[in-house]
DNA sequence: GGATTTGTTTCCACC
DNA sequence: AAACAAATCC
């Protein structure tokens, strides 16, 4: 029997096939397994795979799940519609593009493209680009789109307009409007448009709403805690007819509020569907009990959550390993050494290890060490494969061929490789394009005679657009591989690269080869099956054309990238990209205040709770051993940062740590005999204690950080009287070790400590 | 028009 | 520190 491998709760969650269902799945509770079996069970019960829509968090997860379901219930299962929100709805938008006034060859803009469009608008509007910062604007626009607020709705929204005025940025609505206008002119959609336009499609076209409601009779959503309003609304609309909606998630792992994810979607599911059945998967099969309990103690500090108790039958396992090093370099060394030790002493391989960090820039120093020590590694985040310049250049050629209206692509490649078409000529083209209200490509092709250009430049432009046009004519006739290889050859990018005195040329050529292999794999991949609405016949979508390749790749994340399966490498990635993954040994590096939790969240309770959930996610990736590390000194953004250890360390009871941590704390404790509380940070949390402190007494405030000397008696607002034991650093970075009466030795950054001389 | 130098920005996570 | 944009020179 299919479901006999599941535990009782998992099994109940699978068997409840009809109606609204909410599955709260704790970390490591076999969520993917349950989802997989649930879908397999649906099919076994006679549900047509065509009628199943499964929305997952990564494309890779979708593909793995699909394969597993095929294994369980047979080949028919490959027809289920499964993938990320963005990839599924981009496919539907492609099919229905004309309803929205788009061609189906529309381009999907990534963040870089979007920012570039915004920068151009700010320039054209003659606005201050410091005030109208492109990242800020894109965030603002993205937030609006994720909440289904159109430019018009934005202008009509008093709240938003008031916020912008209060921020001295009254023109954001106008920029948003112009941004959308330009995207449309470029026949492009940004990431948020894929969701926004899907909503428009379902809102304005009743026949399509009905068509997809009928099509997707059973809807499953994974990682529901990370859905935003636009996603929530699509799901709500699509499931409104049959109400077979099953959402799976864990509120404790909600980590995407920054991009509009709304935790209320999962918290309020039962309000939306009062008849919803609730299932809780609480048994953790992944981690040791020490890790599970430590993670529980962290998440228990958060206030807003659905009650659940994650537990495990697994053995206690090893205590949490810890290292506080002097610098980021030493931290990296410690991690590498520990990995080597484990591999030598235990039955472990490089692929069993992951190093997780809060910010991408932390990967650099780690990478240096891995290189130096010859430990094979792979960085999953940071500059992704498709973000590399040489790859983006080629993809821009592809985009322009597929969609001649794509001005961003045009501008990127018009003079790369150099064709003697400089800024002056391009600006003339831009002005004319604006007057004619057509794309740059179109202007160059049809209106070139209207501008004054040197014959040489003019010929260059004509040659360029003629070349692109020739490719465009072929785009539906030959497959992506054939056309792609042709474009790469004719564009001369490879030859140009070879002539550059760039030490990284070999890498770049390798990357281009990898891109070509990816196109080949795409062309050779199995055809996607669709159902003919009229006849009910299954049809293979055989067009492996370049436009589909381009659309598909723009939605790939680095974690989706096919690892060369037998890759035995240590994984380096941000905690965000580690979501859903697991490793035997997990290192969380950079456990420091202002880094993790990020400086931007300190001061906001809500954001701090999200950081804490992020830490929870990091901890629960580990199966066998969890190691946390921090550095006293770290290079960041061109300067040295000194940070205290992360407050999250103190969220974990010290019993869960090994001696590395407790010895360190023991030392501190010995130096501070008068502070008897064993919880070494309770000072920070225990407000009562602070309230009972003597009221501040007099003293001289000090502004010059060099005025302090060892042995001086000082006064601190919270810790009271103390004596300076040691000073280190100078100027604004000066730190002091001060022995406070009743609080013991504290290390303080003088700039913030507001010490007074007694 | 193109190369080189100088100045400026970004410093949180991502589809 | 490094990536990016602008300014300057040839």
Q: Is residue A184's pLDDT more than 90?
A: yes
pLDDT value for A340: 95
Q: Average pLDDT over chain A, rounded to whole?
A: 86
Q: Tell me what the mean pLDDT of segment A564-568 comes to.
A: 67
Please check whether residue A479 is in contact with residue A502, taking contact to mean a CB–CB distance below 8 angstroms.
no
- A 100-119: CB within 7 Å of strand C: 116, 119
- CA-closest candidate to residue A294, choices A605, A625, A665, A608: A625
Please check whether residue A474 is in contact with residue A546, taking contact to mean a CB–CB distance below 8 angstroms.
no
The yes-or-no answer on residue A253 being catalytic is: yes
Tokens at A592, concatenated:
């420091």
Confidence of residue A737 (pLDDT cuts 50, 70, 90): confident
Distance CA(A603)–CA(A228), nearest Å, equals 24
Interior CA angle at A355 toward A349 and A360, to 5°?
A: 140
Asked whether residue A637's C-beta has any atom of DNA/RNA strand C within 7 A, the reply is yes
Q: Tell me what the mean pLDDT of segment A96-105 comes to.
A: 95
Confidence of residue A452 (pLDDT cuts 50, 70, 90): confident
The predicted-structure confidence for A299-349, as pLDDT tens digits, reads as follows 999 987 788 899 999 999 999 999 999 999 999 999 999 999 999 999 899
pLDDT value for A683: 25
The predicted-structure confidence for A140-154, as pLDDT tens digits, reads as follows 999 999 999 999 999
pLDDT value for A727: 77
- CA-closest candidate to residue A355, choices A120, A656, A126, A589: A589
Distance CA(A256)–CA(A258), nearest Å, equals 5
Please check whether residue A668 is in contact with residue A680, taking contact to mean a CB–CB distance below 8 angstroms.
yes
Confidence of residue A600 (pLDDT cuts 50, 70, 90): confident
Q: Which residue out of A31, A66, A169, A392 is catalytically annotated?
A: A31
Cα dist from A249 to A98, A225, A608, whole Å: 35, 6, 21
The yes-or-no answer on residue A45 being catalytic is: no
Please check whether residue A410 is in contact with residue A587, taking contact to mean a CB–CB distance below 8 angstroms.
no
Asked whether residue A215's C-beta has any atom of DNA/RNA strand C within 7 A, the reply is no
| Adjacent-strand bridge partners of A723 | A713, A739
Report the distance from CA of residue A426 to the C1' of nucleotide C9 in Å, as an integer: 21
Estimate to the nearest angstrom the gap between the alpha carbon of A459 and the chain centroid.
44
Bases of chain B below 7 A from a protein C-beta are 1-3, 9-15
Asked whether residue A416's C-beta has any atom of DNA/RNA strand C within 7 A, the reply is no
Q: Is the peptide bond before A417 cis (omega within 30 degrees of 0)?
A: yes
Cα dist from A204 to A66, A500, A639, whole Å: 32, 52, 53
Please check whether residue A561 is in contact with residue A80, taking contact to mean a CB–CB distance below 8 angstroms.
no
Lowest mean pLDDT among A341-350, A533-542, A560-569, A599-608: A533-542
- CA-closest candidate to residue A97, choices A240, A237, A197, A227: A197
Query: What letters, b where the CB count within 10 A reaches 16 and e where it falls short, cover A626-645?
Result: bbbbbbbbbeeeeeebbbbb
Confidence of residue A639 (pLDDT cuts 50, 70, 90): confident
The yes-or-no answer on residue A566 being catalytic is: no
Q: Is residue A688's pLDDT more than 70?
A: no
pLDDT value for A726: 78
Confidence of residue A694 (pLDDT cuts 50, 70, 90): very low
Percent of chain A with pLDDT over 70: 88
Report the distance from CA of residue A289 to the C1' of nucleotide B13 in Å, as an integer: 28
Whose C1' is closest to the CA of A457: which nucleotide? B1
Specify the pTM: 0.85
Tokens at A103, concatenated:
């061609």
pLDDT value for A667: 66
Cα dist from A757 to A113, A152, A184, A296, whole Å: 55, 59, 64, 43
pLDDT value for A495: 85
The yes-or-no answer on residue A31 being catalytic is: yes
Bases of chain C below 7 A from a protein C-beta are 1-2, 5-6
pLDDT value for A703: 55
Strands A735-740 and A744-749: antiparallel
Q: Which residue out of A33, A286, A621, A735 is catalytically annotated?
A: A621
- Of A737 and A447, more confident: A447
Q: Which residue out of A34, A107, A177, A253 is catalytically annotated?
A: A253
Residue with smallest Cα–C1' gap to B8? A130
Whose C1' is closest to the CA of A129: which nucleotide? B9
Q: Is the peptide bond before A131 cis (omega within 30 degrees of 0)?
A: no
Residue with smallest Cα–C1' gap to B10? A637
Report the distance from CA of residue A421 to the C1' of nucleotide B5 in Å, as an integer: 22
3-class secondary structure for A22-43? EEEECCCCCHHHHHHHHHHHHH
- CA-closest candidate to residue A249, choices A224, A228, A271, A229: A224
Whose C1' is closest to the CA of A638: which nucleotide? C1
The yes-or-no answer on residue A544 being catalytic is: no
Q: Is residue A11 within a helix (H) or strand (E), and if so which, with residue range?
A: helix A8-15
Residue A374 dihedral angles phi and psi, to the nearest 5°: 60, 35
pLDDT value for A556: 83
Q: Tell me what the mean pLDDT of segment A639-663 comes to.
A: 90
pLDDT value for A280: 95
Asked whether residue A285's C-beta has any atom of DNA/RNA strand C within 7 A, the reply is no
Q: Is residue A294's pLDDT more than 60?
A: yes
The predicted-structure confidence for A368-388, as pLDDT tens digits, reads as follows 899 889 999 988 876 778 888
Whose C1' is closest to the CA of A258: which nucleotide? B13
Report the distance from CA of residue A177 to the C1' of nucleotide B15 in Å, as an integer: 22
3-class secondary structure for A604-660? CHHHHHHHHHHHHHHHCCEEEEEEEEEEEEEEECCEEEECCECHHHHHCCHHHECHH
């Amino acid at each position: 029997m299919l479901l006999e491998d599941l535990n009782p709760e998992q099994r109940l969650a699978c068997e409840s096939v009809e109606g609204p269902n909410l599955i709260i799945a704790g970390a490591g509770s076999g969520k993917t397994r349950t989802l997989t079996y649930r879908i397999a069970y649906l099919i076994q019960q006679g549900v047509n795979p065509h009628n199943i829509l499964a929305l997952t968090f990564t494309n890779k997860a979708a593909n793995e799940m699909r394969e597993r379901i095929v294994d369980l219930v047979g080949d028919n299962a490959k027809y289920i519609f499964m993938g990320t929100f963005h990839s599924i709805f981009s496919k539907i938008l492609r099919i229905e593009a004309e309803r929205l006034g788009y061609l189906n060859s529309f381009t999907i803009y990534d963040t870089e493209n979007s920012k570039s469009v915004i920068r151009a608008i700010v320039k054209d509007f003659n606005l201050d680009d410091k005030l109208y910062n492109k990242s800020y604007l894109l965030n603002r626009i993205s937030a609006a789109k994720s909440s289904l607020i159109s430019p018009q709705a934005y202008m009509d929204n008093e709240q938003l307009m008031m916020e912008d005025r209060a921020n001295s940025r009254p023109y954001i609505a106008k920029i948003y409007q112009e941004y959308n206008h330009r995207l449309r002119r470029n026949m492009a959609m940004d990431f948020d448009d894929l969701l926004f336009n899907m909503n428009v499609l379902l809102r304005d076209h009743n026949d399509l709403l009905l068509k997809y409601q009928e099509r997707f009779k059973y809807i499953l959503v994974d990682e529901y805690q990370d859905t935003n309003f636009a996603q929530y609304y699509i799901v709500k609309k699509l499931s409104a007819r049959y109400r077979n909606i099953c959402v799976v998630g864990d509120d404790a792992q909600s980590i995407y509020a920054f991009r509009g994810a709304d935790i209320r979607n999962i918290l309020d599911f039962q309000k939306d569907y009062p008849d919803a059945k609730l299932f809780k998967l609480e048994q953790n099969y992944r981690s040791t009990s020490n890790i599970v309990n430590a993670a529980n103690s962290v998440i228990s500090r958060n206030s807003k959550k659905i009650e659940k108790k994650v537990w495990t039958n697994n053995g206690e396992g090893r205590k949490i390993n810890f290292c506080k090093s002097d610098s980021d370099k030493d931290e990296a060394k410690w991690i590498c050494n520990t990995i080597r030790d484990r591999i030598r002493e235990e039955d472990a391989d490089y692929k069993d290890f992951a190093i997780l960090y809060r910010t991408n820039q932390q990967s650099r120093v780690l990478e240096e060490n891995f290189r130096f020590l010859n430990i094979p590694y792979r960085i999953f985040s940071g500059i992704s494969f498709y973000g590399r310049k040489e790859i983006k250049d080629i993809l821009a050629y592809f985009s322009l061929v597929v969609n001649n209206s794509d001005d961003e692509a045009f501008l990127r490649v018009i003079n790369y490789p150099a064709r003697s078409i400089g800024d002056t000529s391009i600006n003339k083209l831009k002005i004319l394009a604006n007057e004619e209200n057509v794309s740059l490509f179109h202007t160059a092709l049809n209106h070139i005679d209207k501008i004054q250009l040197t014959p040489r430049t003019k010929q260059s432009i004509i040659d360029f657009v003629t070349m692109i046009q020739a490719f465009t004519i072929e785009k539906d006739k030959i497959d992506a591989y054939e056309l792609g290889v042709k474009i790469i050859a004719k564009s001369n990018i490879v030859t140009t690269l070879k002539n550059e005195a760039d030490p990284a040329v070999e890498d770049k050529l390798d990357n281009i080869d990898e891109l070509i292999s990816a196109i080949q794999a795409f062309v050779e991949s199995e055809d996607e099956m669709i159902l003919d609405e009229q006849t009910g016949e299954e049809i293979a979508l055989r067009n492996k054309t370049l436009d589909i390749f381009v659309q598909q790749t723009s939605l790939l994340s680095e974690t989706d990238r096919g690892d060369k399966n037998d890759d035995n490498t240590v994984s380096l990635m941000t905690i965000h990209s580690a979501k859903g993954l697991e490793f035997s040994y997990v290192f969380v590096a950079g456990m420091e205040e202002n880094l993790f939790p990020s400086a931007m969240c300190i001061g906001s309770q809500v954001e701090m709770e999200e950081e804490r959930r992020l830490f929870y996610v990091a901890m629960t990736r580990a199966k066998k051993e969890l190691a946390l590390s921090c550095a006293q000194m770290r290079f960041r953004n061109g300067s040295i940062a000194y940070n205290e250890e992360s407050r999250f360390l103190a969220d974990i009871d010290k019993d869960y740590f090994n001696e590395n941590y407790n010895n360190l704390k023991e030392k501190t404790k010995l130096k501070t005999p008068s502070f008897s509380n064993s919880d070494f940070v309770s000072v920070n949390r225990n407000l009562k204690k602070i309230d009972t402190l003597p009221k501040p007494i007099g003293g001289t405030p000090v502004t010059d950080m060099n005025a302090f000397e060892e042995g001086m008696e000082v006064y601190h607002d919270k810790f009271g009287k103390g004596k300076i034991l040691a000073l280190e650093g100078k100027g604004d970075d000066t730190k002091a070790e001060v022995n406070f009466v009743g609080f013991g030795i504290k290390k303080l950054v003088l700039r913030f400590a507001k010490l007074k001389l007694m």
